[in-house]
Structure 1
Amino acid sequence: MKKKLLIIGFVWPEPKSSAAGSRMMQLISFFQSQDYTITFASACAKSDNAFDLESIGVNRVTIELNHSSFDDFILKLKPDVVLFDRFMTEEQFGWRVSDHCPLAIKLLDTEDLHFLRRARQQAFKAATEITETHLLNDTAKREIASIYRCDLSLIISKAEMQLLKTTFKIDEALLLYLPFLIDEVSEEQRQALPDFESRQHFISIGNFLHEPNYDALLHLKTTIWKGIRKQLPKAQLHNYGAYASQKVAQLHNEKEGFLIKGFANDVNEVMQQAKVLLAPIRFGAGLKGKLFDAMQNGTPFVSTSVGVEGIIDEGSQDFICDTTEDFIHHTVRLYQNETLWKAQQSSGFEILSSQFSKSVFESQFAERLELVSKDLRSHRAQNFIGQLLQHHTMQSTKFMSKWIEAKHS
C-alpha cells in the first residue's frame, strides 16, 4: 500500500513567484518519486499565481484554522508523514496531528530561519552589527520550539545548520541539511544558452512582497544604479517580480533605464536575455532562489555576503560586493569583460554540480526518512526537550484554539 503524505501549507505554492514556491514543488517531486500519495492542505486563500497541484496528481484540500473539522479530516486521511510548511503551520496544526495521528512522522520545512532574517533586519535598520541579542528574539523561541516538536527539520542552508548546532545546541539527529534540489546543467544545455554578445542589459528579480527583495530594489534605485548608469549610459535594468504594488510601480523610470517589468511568466527566458543579474541583498536568510536561477541559465551575478550565504564557502570579490563602490565597480567590469563574464558563468555551473546535486540530496533525504520511520519511538525518546515542549505547547495551544473555536461558533 502506498504511503500517504500530508503537506500543510502556509500558502499555496507559487513556483513562478517565489523561491519558497519552487522549494515546495521540489519536495513534492521528491515524495512522488518515493511513491507517496500526496495531499496538500492549506487555510490560505488561493491566488491566481498558485500552481495547479491537481494537474500533477496531488490532492488539494482547504482547511480551517482553529476548527475541529481538521480533526475529522486527518483521522480519515491517516497520513504516514506530515510536512509542515514553515513553523507557523506547525504551531497551528501540530498538536492536532499529534493528538489524532501520533505515529505520523512530523517533518518541518523551515524554508529559511525566520528568526535569523528578522534579527538581520533589526540589526540593519539600527545600523549595527548583528549580535546574539538580535538572534534571541521571540521568533527564535517559537521557531526552535517547533523544530524540537518535530521528528526532523529540513534546513536549506549550511550556514543555518551551523547556527542551530553551535549557537542553539540542537542535536543534529533532529536536523537534515537539504538545499534546493537542482538538476545538473548538461554540457548540451550549456552550449545552447545565449552567449555574451547575444545578451544585453541587467536584471533583478524577486517577489516584491518579500522585504529583503523590496529593500534591494530600493537600494538599486536610489544608490547603485546611478553609479552603473553613469558608466554604462545605454544599459537598462529590468526589474521583475510578483505582486508589484503602486510604490514599486512608481520606481519605473524610462529616462534612467530603470524599468519595472512586473511578473515574469518564464524566469528562464528573461534570465537568458540578460547579461548580468544584480542582487544587492542587505538582510535575509536561507538560499536565494534568484541566484540559482541565474546559475542555471548561465547568467553571472553580483551580490552580497548575505546573498551568497550557503552557496559560496570562500567567496571571491567576483561574487561578493558589500560596499556600493565595489558593487558598481565589479558590475561594470562584468558587463564589459567577456573573459571575466565567462569565468563567472563557468563557476556558477561548477557550484551547482559540486554542491547542489539533486540525486545526492534526494538519496540522503530518503535514507534519513527511512531511518526515522524504522525506529520512531526510539528517535523521539532521545528528544526529551521535544517531548516536554510537545506536552506543554499541546495543552496551551489546544485550549486556546478550542476557546477561539467556541467564541466563533
Structure 2
Amino acid sequence: MFEKIYLDDDQVILESKGCSSSDVDAFLKGLGCEKPDALDRIGTQIFLLDSSAWKGKYVPFFTSANSLWFGLRARDVEPEHYFVVGIDEGEMSALRLRLRLYFSLRSILKGLCHQEGDDLQPMKYVFFISKESYLTRLEVLYAMSLDELLAIEVEPLELNKAEILRNAVLQEDDVHCDERKHVMREALVEFFKEERNRTIEFFMSGVLSFYSSYTERYKVYVSKFSVNKIISEIESERIGFLCKVQDAIMSQQTKAFAIPGGLIAVGAILKVSNDLWEIALVFIGFAISTWMVASLNRDVVEHIGLLGSEFKRSISKYDDVVVGIEDVRAEIEYSSRRLNVASASAKSKLRTLTAVSWVILVVVAFVFMFRSGVVRDFDFEFFFRVLGSKFVDLKGW
C-alpha cells in the first residue's frame, strides 16, 4: 500500500485505485487514522494531511526530512509510525536510526532530570547533584537542527546501549531503582563536566563512553552493597554468638545460687541440731548440688567451644569473596578477636565458679566434721596435699 502514496504540490496522496475500501480503511486505521471517511477524496485519490481525521491530530506522513524532524523533535516519545514521502529506503533507515537514538536518550534525560525547560529555553533538561556539600546544576539542551542530527554517526550498537540505559531508568519495580538513577545521574554529570557544549548532540556522539562510565559506577555500587550486606551478616552472627555465651553464663550463675542456699540450710541445722544423720543428709544434698553445678559448668565450657567452631565454619563461606575482600577480612578478624576474648572470659568465669563451689563444699565438710566430733585424729597434711592436686586438675580443665 505504501507504494501507492506519492507527493503532489505539498500534498500527500494515496491512490486507492485497484484497492477495496475496506483494505484502504484498515491500512489507514493501522497507522492511526480514526476517521478515514473524513479525509478529502477526489475520485480514487485520498488526501492524507487532514489532521482532524488522525488520532491526536498526528499525521504520520511528511513531505520532507526537515518537516519530519521539526514535527517530531519536541515530542516526548518516538511515534510508532512516521514516513517521509519521496525518499528512498536507505535514507529513511538512516534517519530512523538517528531518531530512535535521539528519543531513547531523551527518555533517559527526562527520567533523570529534576526540571524541564523554562520560558527562555523550553527544550532542555535541568539536573541538580549534591556532592560534598556542593550543589551542581547541569542543563542539557535537546534543540538541534536536522543537519546536526544527520551529521552524527550512529551504529546499531550505540542504539542498543542507549535502549539498555533507557530500560534501566524506566524500570521502577525493583528495590534499586532510586539508587540506579542516582548512579546514572552522577555519571551524566561526570560525562558533561569538561564539555562546554552540553547538548543532546554531544550525548548522542558519546553514548558508548557514557554507557561504559555508568556500568563501571554501577558495578562499584553493587559491589559496595554486597560487601555491606556480608559485613552485616557477619556482625549479626557475632552478636548472636555473644548473646548465646552471655545466656549460658547467666544460666549457670542462676544455678549456682543453690550453693549459698545450701550454706543457709547448713547454718540453720547446725543451730538447732547436732544429730549426725541429719548433718550427713544435708551434706550429701549439698555435695550433689555442688557436683551438678560443676558438671553443668563443664558442659557449658564445652558448648562455648562448639559455638566458636560453628561460628568459624559459618564465616568460612565468605572466604571466596573477591570484591571488597579487605573490608570483609577486617570484619572477620575483628569478630574473631571479640569472640575469642568473650569465650576465654566466659570459660574463666565458669571455671572460677566451679572452683569456688568445691571450696565451699570442703569448708562445709570441715564444719560438719568439727561439729560432729569426727575430726580428731584427722591427717590435715595429707588432706591439703589432695586438695592442692584437685585445684591443679581444675586449673588444667
User: Normalising by structure 1, what TM-score?
Assistant: 0.18
Structure number having the greater helix percentage: 2
Bigger Rg, structure 1 or 2: 2
User: Normalising by structure 2, what TM-score?
Assistant: 0.19
